Chain A
Amino acid sequence: GQQVMQIPQYQHVQEGEDFTTYCNSSTTLSNIQWYKQRPGGHPVFLIQLVKSGEVKKQKRLTFQFGEAKKNSSLHITATQTTDVGTYFCAGPKSNYQLIWGAGTKLIIKP
């Protein structure tokens, strides 16, 4: 069946270093969404990408949607402690349900 793979599972970075998480779908997606979940919290919608090759920026966050609309990435430049959390990608199934990636946990090294 349809799958959404996300890597890496964890990424440890020093504060100020960059962070990237990658999402790959087994099928072409009409759109892809990214969510952030802070420790102990619930997922918060960040962005939705719709167009092939689309690139969107939110301050230090850069989101990309692949040309084939099967992969996506989230890149954070110069991480800060407020960036800590788990980042999930999600793609739509039929009937507007979402299939979630496993998430990438961003950990800032002390």
Chain B
Amino acid sequence: GAVVSQHPSWVICKSGTSVKIECRSLDFQATTMFWYRQFPKQSLMLMATSNEGSKATYEQGVEKDKFLINHASLTLSTLTVTSAHPEDSSFYICSAETSGRAYEQYFGPGTRLTVT
């Protein structure tokens, strides 16, 4: 149980285009989903927290207009990187928290974004 999927697993896009990444909880309802970014050889950096049906809460330094997050249902959250630039190339990982399991998060497999 507690499986989280992400799509796509990798994407290459041209500078200036937008990319949407989906995060789905497959066998449970996720009241809260988290989006992380990981640079090579570094720890995960929390970008934003999203609760179903409400606006995402962004961490300091994360541009909300550039990284659009939509948590439309209890099983789906999307991250859209708008007007992507090469510096946005990174590994994006989502996680989901199941209600009743305080602080225990289940991670998606990640999406490798390369902006050329």
Least CB distance, A4 to chain B, in whole angstroms: 10
In chain A, residues 1-54, which have Cβ atoms closer than 8 Å to a Cβ of chain B?
30-31, 33, 35, 41-45, 48
Are A98 and B49 in touch, CB under 8 angstroms? no
Are A103 and B107 in touch, CB under 8 angstroms? no
Question: For the complex, what is the distance from the CA of A103 to the CA of B108, rounded to whole Å?
Answer: 19
Known contacts A96-B32, A97-B34: A41-B109 contact under CB 8 Å: yes
Give the chain A neighbours of B97 by CB distance below 8 A: 96
Asked whether A88 is an interface residue with its Cβ less than 8 Å from the other chain, the reply is yes
Asked whether A92 is an interface residue with its Cβ less than 8 Å from the other chain, the reply is yes
Are A98 and B46 in touch, CB under 8 angstroms? yes
Give the chain B neighbours of A33 by CB distance below 8 A: 103-104
Number of residues from B at the complex interface, CB < 8 A: 20
Known contacts A95-B49, A97-B34, A97-B49: A43-B104 contact under CB 8 Å: no
Are B103 and A48 in touch, CB under 8 angstroms? yes
Known contacts A33-B104, A43-B107, A44-B107: A101-B46 contact under CB 8 Å: no
Least CB distance, A2 to chain B, in whole angstroms: 13
Are B43 and A103 in touch, CB under 8 angstroms? yes
Give the chain A neighbours of B110 by CB distance below 8 A: 41-42
Q: Which 10 A-B pairs have the closest CB atoms?
A: A92-B103, A42-B107, A102-B43, A42-B110, A100-B43, A103-B43, A42-B109, A43-B107, A100-B44, A96-B103
A-B contact pairs, 22 of them (CB 8 A): A33-B103, A41-B109, A41-B110, A42-B93, A42-B108, A42-B109, A43-B107, A44-B107, A45-B105, A45-B106, A48-B104, A88-B44, A92-B103, A95-B49, A95-B57, A97-B46, A97-B49, A98-B46, A98-B103, A100-B44, A100-B46, A103-B43
Residue numbers of A with Cβ under 8 A of B are 30-31, 33, 35, 41-45, 48, 88, 92, 95-98, 100-103, 105
Residue numbers of B with Cβ under 8 A of A are 32, 34, 41-44, 46, 49, 57, 93, 97, 102-110
